[in-house]
Chains A and B, each alone.
Chain A
């Protein structure tokens, strides 16, 4: 157990809908990262938050947004969902801003039908 909790584990939704994925980082970790893992794209970095502020952005679509709350948990919002958004979404946390080991959650498997 990495100490990072993601909910829900599985999500099935229809195209055009909006979903929210939740991540609770390890106790004491200030950085939260979101990654998308799909068969054709591999593991893609989406976005990073550090202590409530956005710090780095990767290949995140405009339909996607995220935030980190004062209690350090984070949410990834995916809207106007398309079939191609079906993937595993991982959250990871680390103690510092960058450069240190990341601890991954079990992931949320999103299926868009």
Chain B
């Protein structure tokens, strides 16, 4: 069955700390991978996406993610978080053949000023 697993439901960090959020997926065939962010009271917005090519993807606001095909993983990283990064982060996967996008349960990040 298709699924996306995000390892941490809640993460609390201090400003300037490094961030890594885990994401593993189960999905047959070639996939497209996404990280979305939902700031408090707002809708989901795309942070970054991987379709093909360089497995290290750079997104907005200093975020990056690495696709490791052998591990079925697409972890999100940021070297130094800011208070404004407080939000919920969703990993998502979609099949290139036109299948529905599946989201992970989300990770709530709280950054202490």
Interface residues of A (CB under 8 A from B): 2, 33, 35, 42-43, 45, 48, 55-56, 58, 90, 92, 96-107
Contacts and interface: CB of A to CB of B under 8 A. Distances in A.
Contact of A99 (B32, B46, B104, B105): B32
Given A42-B106, A43-B90, A43-B105, A101 B46 contact: yes
B105 A42 contact: yes
A47 B95 CA distance: 16
Interface stretch (B10-18, B37-45, B63-71): B37-45
Interface residues of B, number: 24
A105 B32 contact: no
A56 B43 contact: no
A30 to B, nearest CB: 11
15 contacts: A42-B105, A42-B106, A43-B105, A55-B100, A56-B99, A56-B100, A90-B44, A92-B44, A96-B98, A98-B94, A98-B96, A98-B98, A98-B101, A100-B32, A102-B101
Contacts of B95: 98-99
Contact of B103 (A45, A98, A101, A105): A45
A90 B99 contact: no
